[in-house]
Structure 1
Amino acid sequence: MAKRDRLSGNEAVAIALRQINPDVFPAFPITPSTEIPQYFAAFAANGQVDTEFIPVESEHSSMSAAIGASAAGARSLTATSSCGLAYMWEELYIAASNRLPLALALVNRALSGPININCDHSDSMGARDSGWIQIYAENNQEAYDNMVQAYRISEHKDVRLPIMICQDGFITSHAVENMELLDDEEVRGFVGEYEPENYLLNPDCPMAVGPYSITDYYMEAKRNQAEGMKHVSRVVLEVAKEFAALSGREYGLFEEYGMEDAELAVVMIGSAAGTTKDAIDRLRAKGEKVGLVKIRMYRPFPAEEIAEALSGVKAVAVMDRAEGYTNHGGPLGADVMSALYRARSQALAVNYIYGLGGRDVRVEDMEHIFAALRQIAEDGDAGETYRYLGIRE
């Protein structure tokens, strides 16, 4: 039976992990993800989980230990943010290339420098092509729900790839919201026991993990990873359907808000989608046909589905909370514009960089974006397609 509670995003994720009761959790603290292992360490100390909680000396070691545990047949995970993710960079590729179904609770934070501890997406966007599944949350409820679904996706026999569950640093990780938790037994029944087919400690089937791959085999190994990624969208939707039957909360690859007749649309990831929904409600009350596509699953990227969702719009703004340094915009902008191009879309598209280092995004800012889109649609010209929102020139 569902229970209502008031929790921060970090505590909500830690509770989801307590309910899942993973086998191994190596951890090293870094703001703003520190609270996740901190809460979980208390669960372990109090005997509320059977997990082997391992304090390690660095983020590189935390991911290394999670990889070792997963390779040995254990359900494992770790948590990090920002420079911690950068420090485990090498290990991200190792986890994915070995097709290890482990989880990472990532609390998004700006990468240095200059030094900043607040939210943007530069950490996870830098890891977008490392071979990990990436799923993002708008709010605390979604962060909890995504973590409950994580292992069902990652461990699926057609996938077997690591998964990154992302939420916005401080904005959701430390802010407290009303939310609904599932029963412990409901979560454990939904997630189930981990029964790996191949693992290092299986005496009946010896195997190597992380062998040297010469030229004759390396490309085939990478193609094997890509094959796993091909199945992720289907599995995410299957798991979401089962989760909806359990919780009443529905999820897809992305969420459409006000898109049924939208002529102007915004595409974005994360907590600022809530602000954008408020702006849409205001503008809809004035009769304006505006909408939002909020990305939930960013890797693999659901290009065809997003292009279809945007097929009726005249102008679209793609919002990146990370800079791409391409002189053309950010990573989400590149992916969405590529999807529109392949679909031969006639929509005029612009890419905004916004919210870097925790810069506030207000309802009025998003109303300004829709006003700019309105002008673009009237002019029939996108103008400067690479823009910044809220910058002091």
Structure 2
Amino acid sequence: MRAYLNGNEAVAAAVKLARTEVVAAYPITPQSTIVEKIAEYIAAGSMEADYIRVESEHAALAACYGAAVTGTRVFTATSSQGLAYMFEMLHYVSGCRVPMVMAVANRGLAAPWTIWADHQDAVACRDTGWIQLYVETAQEALDTCLQAYKIAAHPEVLTPVMVCLDGYVLSHTEEIVDVPDQEAVDRFLPSYRPEYSVDTQRPYVFGVGAGPDLYSAFKYYQQQAILKAKEVIKEVDREFQAHFQRSYGGLVDLYYCHDASVVLVVMGATAGTAREVVEYLRRQGEAVGLLRLRSFRPFPVEDLRAALSRARVVAVLDRDCSFGYEGVLATEVKAALADLPAQPQVAGFIGGLGGRDISQEELAGIFRHCLEAVRRQDRGEELVVSGGWQK
């Protein structure tokens, strides 16, 4: 079935199709309509699930955690300050290896107070042990939520997943979305039956204390699970393509990277604008490309190295800032490429904070700035590229 859906409605449709059994809901802009739409499904009888109205975002994640350890498929959604309020529970859920899916409609963090989009909220949770997947369209939001349930519950992963979608630009913008039928989804995503869960017949303990002799072992296996998720994310994307004829490249989505001198790296909905700019510059004979990072955690080091090793300049556009240094994604890309035999120059740019528009002209300006550095090198000068900040 094809329907006009915005990103939030697409997420809600995926949660329904996944036969999610428990939803904990607390409203915060711009994600509120996700849980409102799910409430409509349940009230209308088209979705069978327990809907828990909680008193805070912290309580929402705690409720999901409690339901998930009983072997139940769960969901919640949040944004910005709400995600920050969940911070303590993020570690509990991932440390206990509890698979669940949470949508994050990305929004800037206060202060100054804002309801508009950037990636600071989710990027600030980089080290909480959650898989983070960033989507570009409403269609990808629906499809990635379905994939996320399968990734999270994989027996070698058992890790919660954030599906991140840009606030308003994606969460509230409608497009034609192909909504798969229930039978097809059931074939792709079977019922959730975990090996370990709280059961009166088989008692298990989650969140038990551990001394120094055991704590590091727990964290080691958690790290190995998230690294394993790299393969699983690719595998699940291939399975999804076999069922629904749609693929998103797994960890990264490449566009004209094979012969590009300058490649722009982005996350989220900005990729749509950047792709138009690449097309425009290609028609002018410029060797430019785009790499859209889908998986921020696990970080796809090997895929980045393979895709960017032939580039001379890699421009990274962050919609966040690690204050006192630079954009987080720029730092990560530099580290991933640091020991390549012919290391590209990496230039970090920061833009789109607090919902500031990122125009085609600004993206073209980034490309031209980097291309000029390449031309200077061709004339015998040293290759030096400076980044910048959209003020």
TM-score (norm 1): 0.96
| Alignment counterpart, residue 208 of structure 1, candidates 205, 209, 224 | 205
> Match for residue 194 of structure 1?
192
Is the contact between residue 322 and residue 356 of structure 1 (CA under 8 Å) also seen in structure 2? yes
1:224 deviates by 1.4
What is the CA-CA distance between 1:189 and the residue it aligns to?
Answer: 2.2
Q: Deviations over 1:44-67 (max 9, x none)?
A: 111111211100000000000000
Amino acid across the alignment from 1:273: A
**What pairs up with 1:153-302 in 2 under 5 angstroms?**
153-204=151-202, 206-251=203-248, 252-302=250-300
Paired amino acid for 1:317? A
Q: For 1:360-371, list aligned pairs within 5 A.
A: 360-371=357-368
1:24 to 18, 22, 25: 22
Distance 2:156 2:51 in 1: 29
Query: In 2, distance between residues paired with 1:305 and 1:168?
Result: 24
CA distance in 2 between counterparts of 1:135 and 1:129 reads 14
Over the residues paired in the alignment, what is the CA RMSD in angstroms?
A: 1.2
Are the counterparts in 1 of residues 258 and 307 from structure 2 also a CA contact under 8 Å?
no
Aligned partner of residue 153 in structure 1, secondary structure:
helix
Q: Does 1:337 align with 2:334?
A: yes
Aligned counterparts of 2:302 and 2:177: Cα–Cα separation in 1: 32
Match of 2:125 in 1: 127
* Alignment partner of 2:321 out of 320, 323, 345: 323
Is the alpha carbon distance of 1:115 and 1:351 closer, same or farther for their aligned partners in structure 2, counting shifts above 3 Å?
Answer: same
Could you list the runs of 5+ residues in structure 2 that have no partner in the other structure? none
Distance in 2, Cα, partners of 1:10 & 1:345: 43
In 1, the alpha carbon distance for the partners of 2:218 and 2:165 equals 31
The CA deviation at 1:342 is 2.9
AA matched with 1:178? I
Task: In structure 2, give the amino acid aligned to 1:79.
Answer: A
SS of match in other structure, 1:129: helix
Q: Is residue 388 from structure 1 mapped to residue 389 from structure 2 by the alignment? A: yes
- Give the C-alpha shift of residue 344 in structure 1: 3.8
Deviations 1:94-116 (A, max 9, x none): 00000000111111000111000
Percentage identity across paired residues of the two chains: 38
Is 2:15 aligned against 1:14?
no
Matches within 5 A, 1:108-147: 108-147=106-145
Gaps spanning 5+ residues in structure 1: where? none
In 2: Cα distance, 1:237 partner to 1:274 partner: 22
* Secondary structure class of the residue paired with 2:127: coil
SS in 1 for 2:126: coil
The match for 1:87 is 85
The separation in 2 between residues aligned to 1:273 and 1:386, in whole angstroms, is: 19
Of residues 347, 352, 355 in structure 2, which corresponds to 1:355? 352
Q: CA deviation at 1:197?
A: 0.6
Instruction: Provide the rounded CA distance (Å) in 1 between the counterparts of 2:288 and 2:136.
Output: 19
Give the drift of 1:201: 1.9
- Alignment coverage as a number of residue pairs: 386
> For 1:77-102, what per-residue CA distance to the aligned partner results, in whole angstroms no more than 9, with x for missing partners?
21000000000000000000000001
Partner of 2:70: 72
CA distance in 1, matches of 2:89, 2:200: 23
Please state how far the C-alpha of 1:139 moved relative to its aligned partner. Answer: 1.1
